[in-house]
Amino acid sequence: MADVESLLTALRSGDRAALGQAITLAESSREADAAEARSLIEQCLLVAGEGLRIGITGIPGVGKSTLIDAYGLWLIAQGHRVAVLAIDPSSERSGGSILGDKTRMEQLAQHEQAFIRPSPTGGMLGGVARRTREAIVLCEAAGYDRILIETVGTGQNELEVDRMTDLNVLLLIAGAGDELQGIKRGIMESADVIAFTKCEGDARARADSARRDLRGAVQLLPSRPSGRRAEILLTSAISGEGIAELGALVETLHAGDRASGFQEEHRRSQSLQWLDSAIEQGLRESFQRDQGIAQAMPALREAVRAGTKSPFAAATELLALFRTGGAPRP
C-alpha cells in the first residue's frame, strides 16, 4: 500500500489535490479500492477529531451555499481552516446545481484556507452521501478544523446529518410558509441554531416577527441532547448582517459542549451509529457484488413485477441464497 502512504503524506502536508483524491478513494464502491480506503481512513482517524463539524440544512434556494461563503470567510478570519462538504441530491440526475453551488461559494472557493467538495448522494435514500463520515475524517486529518456539511433538508436528512455533526444550523426564509419549507417537528428538533436568511432591508421586520413566532414554537419542542433548545438568529449573506453573530454563537455552543463533556459523549454514541451504518453498507455492498445474487436477481425481479411472486418471498429467497452462497441446505 505504498500509494496509501504517499497519499497520506501529501494529504497531511495540506495538499488539496491529495485530499480530493483521498475522498474519491473513500467514496469509491469498487471492491479493489476498499482495502486502501480502509487503511487510509484508519490512519486518518488517529489524527482526526479536533475539528468542529457543523451541519447546514434547509430547502433548496434558502441560501445555504451563499451563507457558507460568508460564514466560511468569517471562520477563516478567526484563524480557522474551512472544509465544505456540499451534498447534492440533484447532482446525480441532472448534473445540476453543483455548478451553482461552486459559483455561490466563489470567494471561499478561491481561498487558500478553504476546501470545497461537492459530493453526489450516490443514490442513498435521504440524500446524505454514502461516505460523508469518512470525508469528514479525511478533511480533519488534512488540517481543516471547521467542517461545514451542506445538505438539503427533507426531514430524513437532518436525522442522518445529526449522526455525524457536532452542531446543526437550520436555515429558514421568513414568511415563506412553514408548509413550503417542510418545517416539521423532526427538522426543528435537530437544529441547535435556526437562522432566518435573506434578512436585509425590508425583509428584516418580517423576519423579526417570524422569529418571535418561532421562539414560541421552539419552547414546545423537547430540548436537544445537549440540554439546550435552538437559538434563533436573523442573517443576510448578502449584507453580512448576523454572520459574525452566527459564527460567534456556534463557537460558544461548541466551547460549552466541550467543557461539559457533552461533545465527547455525543461522539462516542456517533461512533456506535457509524458502526451500525458501516455494517449495513458492507452488507449491502457485498450483496450487490455477489455473483449468485446477480444471476438470480433478474428472474426474481421479473416475477415480482409480473405478480407471480410476492416481493417478500423473492427477498427471502435472495437473502437465503446470499447467506448460503447457493449451497444446498444442510
Ligand X SMILES: Nc1nc2c(ncn2[C@@H]2O[C@H](COP(=O)(O)OP(=O)(O)O)[C@@H](O)[C@H]2O)c(=O)[nH]1
Q: What sign for the dihedral angle of Cα 24, 29, 30, 32?
A: positive
Contact in structure between 197 and 63 (CB atoms under 8 Å) = yes
Q: Which does residue 237 bind out of Mg ion, ligand X, none, counting CB within 5 to 8 angstroms by kind?
A: ligand X
Q: Which is nearer to Mg ion, 64 or 80 (CB)?
A: 64
Nearest approach in angstroms of CB 105 to Mg ion is: 8
Residue 72 partner contact from Mg ion, ligand X, none using kind-dependent CB cut-offs of 5 to 8 Å: none
d(CA 52, CA 166): 6
For cell 438539503, the residue is: 152
Q: Does 146 engage in binding with Mg ion (CB under 5 A)?
A: no
Smallest CA-to-CA distance from 277 within 185, 159, 141 is with 159
Q: Which is nearer to Mg ion, 65 or 236 (CB)?
A: 65
Question: If we measure between CA atoms, which residue out of 141, 165, 139 comes closest to residue 45?
Answer: 141
Rounded alpha-carbon distances, angstroms, from residue 243 to 66, 206, 222:
11, 18, 27
Single out the segment in contact with Mg ion by CB under 5 A; choices: 10-18, 61-69, 275-283, 295-303.
Answer: 61-69
Cell numbers describing residue 55:
451541519
114 binding partner (options ligand X, Mg ion, none; Cβ < 5 to 8 Å by kind):
none
Q: Minimum distance between the CB of residue 176 and ligand X, rounded to whole angstroms?
A: 12
Instruction: Provide the mask over 89-118, with x wherever binding to Mg ion is found by CB under 5 A and - wherever it is not.
Output: ------------x-----------------
Among 19, 26, 58, 64, indicate the residue that binds Mg ion (CB under 5 A): 64
User: Of the two residues 60 and 122, which places its CB atom closer to ligand X in the complex?
Assistant: 60
Contacted by 66, from Mg ion, ligand X, none: CB < 5 to 8 Å by type: ligand X
Q: Which does 143 bind (CB under 5 to 8 A by kind): ligand X, Mg ion, none?
A: none
- Choose among ligand X, Mg ion, none what residue 57 binds, the Cβ cut-off being 5 to 8 Å by kind: none
Return the one option of Mg ion, ligand X, none that residue 63 interacts with (CB less than 5 to 8 A, by type).
ligand X
CA distance 147 to 12: 16
CB of 242 to ligand X, least distance (A): 9
In terms of phi and psi (left: phi > 0; alpha: psi -120 to 50; beta: otherwise), the region of 240 is left
d(CA 320, CA 318): 5
- CA atoms of 53 and 26, how far apart (whole Å): 19
Name the residue type at position 218.
V
Nearer to Mg ion, 43 or 97 (CB): 97
Between 66 and 263, CB nearer to ligand X:
66
In the complex, minimum distance from the CB of residue 247 to ligand X, in angstroms, rounded to a whole number: 15
DSSP bridge pairs for 82: 114, 146
Question: 55 vs 63, which CB is nearer to ligand X?
Answer: 63
Choose the one of Mg ion, ligand X, none that binds residue 58, judging by a C-beta under 5 to 8 angstroms depending on kind: ligand X
CA distance 97 to 60: 10
Q: Are strands 193-197 and 231-234 parallel, antiparallel or unpaired?
A: parallel
Spatial separation of the C-alpha atoms in residues 230 and 281, rounded to whole Å: 32
Residue ranges in 65-84 that form contacts with Mg ion under rule CB under 5 A = 65
State the minimum distance, in angstroms, from the CB of residue 143 to ligand X. 26
Binding site for ligand X (CB under 6 A): 58, 60-66, 100, 104, 197-198, 200, 236-238
Containing 259, the helix (H) or strand (E) segment is helix 243-260
Residues lying near Mg ion in the complex (CB under 5 A): 64-65, 101
